[in-house]
Structure 1
Amino acid sequence: MSSSSITIPETERDAKLRVTAYHGLDLNKKVISFQPGVHERYRIRPIISSSFPKTHLSPDLGPWLKHLPPEILVKIFLNLDIASIFTLRQTNGALRAFVTSIPEYGVLSTDALDAYLAIHRTNLAPWLTLHQVHRALISEWCTMCGAYGGFLFLPTAMRCCLRCICDKHTFQVLSLNLACRMTNFGIPKLQTPVPTWTTIPGWYGKLENTYQKKVRYVSFQHAFEAALETKGPAQVKMLIDEVAREAHRKTFEEDKARACVAIPTYEADRKKAYWGLSCRGCAMKMPRLNATGRSLRSGCKLPDGVDTVYEREEFEKHVEGCENAKWLWEKSEGGKKCVRHLEGRFSVNGGFFESRMIADGEWGY
């Protein structure tokens, strides 16, 4: 029997997660995201995550790198910025194969492909190391509040949750003009010590407003650190007050969302990545709405638990106390039967947003 025909039996734990949990895709659409199918259409994944056949490899890594042990090379590459790794990978076949073989690079280029592309397209690749991003991927918790964090704040590679992105000033971003006033630097000089990044056109924020124009920003944290080197504490405090007033702008929340991307959590012991988990049982509390869903977008409060995102062990504890989730698991007869027809439209759509609406009863399976 060939190895490709061997299937690993599903554990009861995995089956229960399959029946009772779903990933809220609607949350991903509030930050940097890419259209479904774009990775496959342009064959992005195999290009950045695979090496050439051995027959096409160059004989060695080069006159200097070939003398170093592989363990030392891996440590060097982990502390290189992602732009340099990308460039080295294109140098020759041997370097491409070596970079591809680094486990941390494999996790980023396969399990967190959206994050990898977002880092490059925002021009932050020269500022972030592979180690920084991988450290965020193997974490689970928001660095600010300790809840499950399903997002990466790109300028500082901090893992965070959507609530903190919207509410915390740590993730505040500034226009280049305001950052220049804070630091007394001109724009060319500012870009040397401070990471500047370019927004990606798309839909952002709680209401998924459209932004087509590319704008350059600086994170408040980086601008603040640079300002301390050029101004006194009193002047910096005045500038912080100015930034606080800036926070009341209508697009403030969307600006921060344009600096974030959704990421999974990678479990090194299982060699598997998983996304934040939402409860199908709690989603059944959602009222049946018309196809446009305008009553939700008008600001009505979601039922308790609908917008909560869990880590695996957290979710398993939640299911023990969720009557709807336990009912779905019972009806599935231990995961043997499909129970999607018993769910609400909310969880079937991976969360509520109009572009993926499926009318009640139109399940398509």
Structure 2
Amino acid sequence: MELSESILSAASYHCEDFGRSVIQIEDRHCDMVRSSVFKYVGECPDSGLGALDVLPVEILSSICLMLDVDAGFRFSQASRRARAVVASVPEYHHLGDHALQCLCALLRTDIGHYVAISTLHLALLNHDCQSCGFFAGYLFLPTLTRCCFRCIESAKGLSAAPLEKLASESGMSIEQLKEAIPIFHTLPTLQNTATAMRSGRRFLVAEEHCIGILKSIGYPEPMPTYFSSMHLPGFGWEASTTLPSFNPKTGEVQTGVSCKGCQVAMKISPSEQAFKLRQRVYSRQRFLDHFQQCSHARKIWESSQRTLSIRP
């Protein structure tokens, strides 16, 4: 085993608990998408594309990349020929393989028609939190913002207001707002399912879009004062889902790793700083850099090496 793999195996782990706070679509709800979306199902001579059949594959592929998520999904269901065209586009193939949760969440929250396939694919290739720069294993769906676990809760821009409050504040009708900006229809998360069942699904508007509407009708700066009277704390969790990072050149998929050493440090000497470090998630390379600075992680790895050395 290479040294880097040995360090990662012994001193890092993937924290499953973080994902419980965000949208997780149950497998049974993903079955149709998993079995059909962006998957080649074989040629069918009698199944064509109508007027689009005259276009070369290169142009059809370019058109597919211009579609939004809803349109791409519907087009892939139009015929076997359409499915074959979509499946031949690498970007669709990558999303179908590595972003199924994200695709399902976009379709079920009613904002898939605002999200371009090409933009979502770019998000899949990235892995940096747009707020703090550390590994971002989550995607804030209303604005397609890559974010880490910590920033979902606290970063500027990852909040929202109920649609009804924005309508009241702006003087615009709900119908007008639905035509003008993305409206996010919430889903239960694993940690808020009971609350969601009691209160029902909600229509919410991301902070960026709220401020855009208020500016468009002449609200003076600064906007945060107006938004703070409407916003709904904790919305970031309800509007985010997991999204790994994919490198098409190497085929590597990363979901982020946490440090076992920081977990130990938190138990030995609890503090706000120790808690923040325990919550931090790293890419593989950044964890190896962190490992050099974390004495507890080094001790864990050294202990694992001693154990290996005495095995028969």
The TM tier, using the shorter chain, reads: 0.7 to 0.9
Q: Is the 8 A contact 2:13 2:258 kept in 1?
A: yes
Q: Is the 8 A contact 1:136 1:157 kept in 2?
A: yes
Match for 1:218: what amino acid?
Answer: V
**2:223 maps to 1:232:** no
Query: Distance in 1 between the 2:210 and 2:179 partners?
Result: 12
Structure 2: runs of 5+ lacking an equivalent: none
Query: Deviation at 1:160?
Result: 1.5
Cα gap change, 1:126 to 1:336, in 2 (>3 Å): farther
Match for 2:60: what amino acid?
Answer: L
Match for 2:52: what amino acid?
Answer: L
Match for 2:130: what amino acid?
Answer: T
**2:20 maps to 1:29:** yes
Query: Distance in 1 between the 2:38 and 2:12 partners?
Result: 29
Identity across aligned pairs (percent)? Answer: 26
Query: Deviation at 1:311?
Result: 1.7
TM-score by length of 1: 0.74
Query: Deviation at 1:158?
Result: 1.2
**Residue 118 of structure 1: aligned partner:** 105
Query: Distance in 1 between the 2:127 and 2:65 partners?
Result: 20
**Residue 288 of structure 2: aligned partner:** 316
Query: Distance in 2 between the 1:171 and 1:304 partners?
Result: 19
1:221-260 mapped onto 2 (5 Å cutoff): 221-229=208-216, 231-234=217-220, 237=222, 240-247=224-231, 252-253=233-234, 255-260=235-240
1:18 alignment partner, one of 9, 29, 33:
9
Paired residue secondary structure (1:306): helix
**2:236 maps to 1:261:** no
Paired residue secondary structure (1:276): coil
Structure 1: runs of 5+ lacking an equivalent: 1-9, 289-295, 338-365
Q: Is the 8 A contact 2:102 2:241 kept in 1?
A: yes
Query: Distance in 2 between the 1:156 and 1:308 partners?
Result: 23
1:331-350 mapped onto 2 (5 Å cutoff): 331-333=303-305
Q: Is the 8 A contact 2:149 2:279 kept in 1?
A: no
**Residue 177 of structure 2: aligned partner:** 190
Q: Going by fraction, where is helix more abundant, 1 or 2?
A: 2
Q: For each residue in 1:20-40, what CA deviation from the matched residue of structure 2 results, as whole angstroms up to 9, or x when unmatched? A: 2222111111111235x5478
Q: Is the 8 A contact 1:19 1:335 kept in 2?
A: no
Query: Distance in 2 between the 1:67 and 1:12 partners?
Result: 55
Match for 2:17: what amino acid?
Answer: D
Q: For each residue in 1:282-301, what CA deviation from the matched residue of structure 2 results, as whole angstroms up to 9, or x when unmatched? A: 2233549xxxxxxx9xx988
Query: Deviation at 1:167?
Result: 1.8
Query: Deviation at 1:136?
Result: 1.1
Q: Is the 8 A contact 2:69 2:115 kept in 1?
A: yes
Tell me how large the CA RMSD over aligned residues is: 3.1
Cα gap change, 1:66 to 1:21, in 2 (>3 Å): farther
TM-score by length of 2: 0.85
Q: Which moved more, 1:118-127 or 1:100-109?
A: 100-109
Paired residue secondary structure (2:184): strand
Aligned length: 307
Q: For each residue in 1:57-101, what CA deviation from the matched residue of structure 2 results, as whole angstroms up to 9, or x when unmatched? A: 245652333333333322221221100000000111111122122
Match for 1:50: what amino acid?
Answer: K
1:79-158 mapped onto 2 (5 Å cutoff): 79-158=66-145
Q: Is the 8 A contact 1:122 1:199 kept in 2?
A: yes
Q: For each residue in 1:232-286, what CA deviation from the matched residue of structure 2 results, as whole angstroms up to 9, or x when unmatched? A: 243x75x742321344xxx611x22111112111112211211011112322335
Q: Is the 8 A contact 2:150 2:280 kept in 1?
A: no
1:34-49 mapped onto 2 (5 Å cutoff): 34-35=25-26, 38=28, 42=31, 44-49=33-38
Query: Deviation at 1:44?
Result: 4.8
Query: Distance in 2 between the 1:246 and 1:302 partners?
Result: 33
